[in-house]
């Protein structure tokens, strides 16, 4: 077993609202909490808390309380924070829905989570109405966040109505250990699962991550990662606001807009996922903007290669860090601390956060792997125990039991190593490892290598079956601009740099690598495409 080299932090038994906003000082009230990146409109901490309270008051008057589940289907805009915290303040539970979902997918999540209310924005109204109907939510319970204008709200209550009612927040005692937030996992390995997190889980993870991320009131934090996914939810909506930073929201990723907002709002702290790191390291557009305000870039959600991270650090002249987590862990369990002075390799995910225990289990035998006295351990499946571990999967007791062992350790499904100093490196997902003649190949390693090629803009690797039932690596490659690059160039480049068993055996050139909103390569889609393609 190994733990954090950092001392435990205090985790109060309290609600998220109390933890984040209970200590708001008079000086804080006028500070800017949220800036709408598109319009530049600002919301102060005082106004934000007033709107949260009014939303809680209105919801309580509608009978919303501890047994109610509310759906929030909305991109990153300031009103997201109002509804999210207002719902918890009313003692109710909330499920956050992926903004890219189709009406069917939204409907499925609303039904699965038992949501009886839906908050959305007018551009999403068509999908929201269809989904609500499928889930049996009446039109009067679809609240439109931008719908001050009756024509926009189309017969639904609007956030303006909610706020204008001006009702005080209800006085109630909320159990911080009850299921309160139900985000869904990204669906990388199968159907997304509803993950039950308590307010205590979320308070704990903010308390744990603070010590590592060190966001300050002087930071301007760019909120491009979706709030509906656990990474953006905890790190942006909770941690950054709890630290009284200024949060600049972006409804969806667009490179030029991302660079413009970073420049114009003088953003200092960027939380990103690897696809944005690829763009920051390689895209020509980056040179056209003044990004000198950026101090820290923290990448999480998928593997960041050290070389790529260093390329971002030198191009932007900033510190680059990596963190690791999963929805089931609220999400953070590992990160490179902000005050590390470059001792921890950027290939790694740094140290275990405070109040957390880990172990590694042998992939074949499930035997615990010893932490060596020096150097790095053998790779094994990472298990994590701590106050950030979910209550369980919603409606899936069997899946929960398979995931959390009787001692409370959660099986991450990720392969990792740990050094004597406690530095953890993620190898890849157990399920993604390509098995070739008894060897194991991590797609992430080959993808990182491909990205070092100057004529490759992006890449992904999957295992494909050969006629003799072996699994071999196939690369999907996006050419850099109009660069000339053939199959052989790619295969020879890799062959010159890896052991023979790891060689890329086939190459397909594509326009883009499919990625999820949370920043993961959708290998499922690449696999489906390969399976559907006629044999050459
Ligand atoms: P699903 O569980 O539905 O298949 P998912 O696992 O992608 O989807 P998330 O909870 O969003 O859903 O992602 C957690 C996973 O992301 C981790 O288990 C791990 O595989 C990956 N991950 C997160 N951070 C890192 C990182 N820094 N390096 C490598 N992998 C990472
Ligand atoms: Mg997962």
Q: Note the pLDDT of residue 468.
A: 84
Q: Note the pLDDT of residue 148.
A: 67
pLDDT more than 70, % of the chain: 98
For residue 488, the surrounding DSSP H or E stretch is helix 487-495
Q: What is the pLDDT of residues 481-535, one digit of tens each?
A: 888 999 999 999 999 999 999 999 999 999 999 999 889 999 989 998 887 766 5
C-alpha of residue 86 to centroid of ligand 2, in Å: 28
C-alpha distance from residue 66 to each of 172, 284, 334, 522 (Å): 10, 51, 32, 36
Cα distance between residue 214 and residue 264, in whole Å? 23
Does residue 429's CB lie within 6 angstroms of at least one atom of ligand 1?
Answer: yes
C-alpha of residue 48 to centroid of ligand 2, in Å: 33
Cα distance between residue 112 and residue 143, in whole Å? 20
Does residue 51's CB lie within 6 angstroms of at least one atom of ligand 1?
Answer: no
Q: Which of 38-52, 188-202, 373-387 has the lowest average pLDDT?
A: 188-202
Q: What is the pLDDT of residues 116-170, one digit of tens each?
A: 999 999 999 999 999 999 999 999 999 999 976 766 767 899 999 999 999 999 9
pLDDT surpasses 70 at 252: yes
C-alpha of residue 413 to centroid of ligand 1, in Å: 9
Closest atom, ligand 1, to C-alpha of 412: 18
Does residue 108's CB lie within 6 angstroms of at least one atom of ligand 1?
Answer: no
Q: What's the farthest any 2 CA atoms get from each other in the chain?
A: 71
C-alpha of residue 465 to centroid of ligand 2, in Å: 24
Q: Note the pLDDT of residue 206.
A: 98
**Residue bearing the bigger pLDDT, 190 or 505:** 505
Does residue 89's CB lie within 6 angstroms of at least one atom of ligand 1?
Answer: no
Q: Where are the beta strands (DSSP E) in 23-62?
A: 32-36, 42-44
Q: What is the pLDDT of residues 41-73, one digit of tens each?
A: 999 999 999 999 999 999 999 999 999 999 999
Q: Note the pLDDT of residue 438.
A: 86
Q: Which of 187-191, 312-316, 353-357, 408-412 has the lowest average pLDDT?
A: 187-191
C-alpha of residue 412 to centroid of ligand 2, in Å: 7
| Average pLDDT, integer, range 359-370 | 96
Cα distance between residue 359 and residue 344, in whole Å? 20
User: Which residue's CA lies nearest to atom 27 of ligand 1?
Assistant: 324
Which ligand has an atom closest to residue 445 CA?
Answer: 1
pLDDT more than 90, % of the chain: 91
Does residue 114's CB lie within 6 angstroms of at least one atom of ligand 1?
Answer: no
Q: Note the pLDDT of residue 191.
A: 84
Read off the pLDDT band of 251 (50, 70, 90).
very high
Residue 270 burial class via C-beta count within 10 angstroms: exposed 0-12, middle 13-18, buried 19 and up: buried
Read off the pLDDT band of 228 (50, 70, 90).
very high
| Average pLDDT, integer, range 398-403 | 96
Contacts of 192 (CB under 8 A, 6+ apart): 98, 109, 184, 185, 186
C-alpha of residue 484 to centroid of ligand 1, in Å: 34
Does residue 384's CB lie within 6 angstroms of at least one atom of ligand 1?
Answer: no
Question: 282 by DSSP, 3-state: which?
Answer: helix
Cα distance between residue 479 and residue 458, in whole Å? 7
Does residue 190's CB lie within 6 angstroms of at least one atom of ligand 1?
Answer: yes
Q: Note the pLDDT of residue 536.
A: 46
Which ligand has an atom closest to residue 331 CA?
Answer: 1
Contacts of 501 (CB under 8 A, 6+ apart): 436, 437, 439, 441
Q: What is the pLDDT of residues 104-118, one digit of tens each?
A: 999 999 999 999 999
Q: What is the pLDDT of residues 437-487, one digit of tens each?
A: 889 999 999 999 999 999 999 999 999 998 888 899 999 999 998 889 999
Which ligand has an atom closest to residue 185 CA?
Answer: 1
Of 406, 429, 165, 383, nearest to 157 by C-alpha is: 165
| Average pLDDT, integer, range 202-222 | 98
């Amino acid at each position: 077993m190994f733990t954090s080299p950092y001392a435990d932090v205090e985790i109060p038994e309290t609600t998220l609202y109390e933890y984040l906003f209970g200590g708001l000082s008079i000086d804080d009230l006028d500070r800017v909490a949220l800036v709408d990146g598109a319009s530049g409109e600002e919301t102060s901490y005082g106004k934000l808390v007033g709107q949260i309270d009014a939303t809680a008051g209105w919801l309580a008057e509608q009978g919303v309380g501890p047994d109610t589940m509310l759906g929030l289907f909305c991109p990153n805009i300031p009103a997201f924070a109002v509804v999210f915290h207002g719902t918890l303040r009313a003692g109710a539970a909330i499920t956050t829905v992926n903004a890219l979902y189709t009406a069917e997918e939204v409907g499925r999540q609303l039904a699965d989570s038992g949501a009886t209310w839906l908050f959305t924005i007018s551009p999403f109204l068509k999908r929201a109405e269809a989904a609500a109907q499928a889930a049996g939510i009446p039109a009067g319970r679809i609240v439109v966040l931008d719908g001050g204008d009756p024509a926009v709200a189309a017969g639904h209550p609007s956030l303006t109505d909610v706020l204008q009612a001006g009702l005080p927040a209800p006085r109630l005692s909320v159990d911080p250990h009850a299921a309160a937030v139900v985000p869904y996992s990204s669906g990388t390995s199968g159907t997304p699962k509803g993950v039950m997190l308590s307010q205590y889980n979320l308070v704990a993870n903010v308390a744990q991550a603070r010590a590592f991320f060190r966001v300050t009131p002087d930071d301007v934090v760019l909120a491009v990662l979706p709030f509906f996914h656990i990474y953006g939810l905890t790190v942006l909506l909770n941690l950054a606001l709890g630290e009284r930073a200024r949060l600049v929201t972006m409804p969806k990723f667009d490179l030029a807009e991302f660079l413009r907002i970073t420049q114009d709002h003088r953003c200092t702290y960027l939380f990103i996922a690897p696809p944005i790191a690829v763009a920051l390291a390689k895209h020509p557009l980056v040179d056209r903007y003044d990004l000198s305000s950026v101090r820290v870039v923290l990448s999480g959600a998928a593997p960041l290669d050290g070389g790529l991270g260093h390329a971002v650090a030198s191009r932007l002249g900033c510190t680059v860090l990596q963190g690791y987590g999963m929805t089931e862990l609220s999400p953070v369990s590992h990160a490179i601390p902000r005050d590390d002075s470059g001792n921890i390799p950027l290939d790694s995910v740094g140290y275990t956060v405070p109040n957390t225990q880990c172990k590694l289990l042998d992939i074949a035998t499930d035997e615990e792997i010893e932490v060596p006295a020096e150097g790095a351990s053998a790779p094994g499946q990472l298990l994590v125990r701590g106050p950030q571990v979910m209550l369980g999967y919603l409606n899936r007791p069997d899946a929960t039991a398979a995931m959390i062992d009787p001692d409370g350790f959660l099986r991450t499904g990720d392969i990792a190593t740990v050094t004597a100093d406690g530095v953890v490196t993620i190898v890849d997902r157990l399920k993604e490892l390509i098995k070739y003649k008894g060897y194991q190949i991590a797609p992430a390693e080959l993808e990182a290598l491909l990205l070092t090629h100057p004529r490759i803009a992006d890449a992904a690797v999957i295992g494909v079956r050969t006629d003799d039932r072996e699994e071999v690596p196939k690369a999907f490659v996006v050419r850099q601009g109009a660069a000339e690059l053939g199959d052989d160039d790619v295969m020879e480049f890799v062959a010159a740099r890896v052991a023979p068993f790891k060689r890329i055996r086939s190459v397909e050139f594509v326009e883009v690598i499919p990625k999820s909103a949370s920043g993961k390569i959708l290998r499922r889609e690449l696999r489906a495409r390969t399976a559907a393609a006629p044999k050459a």
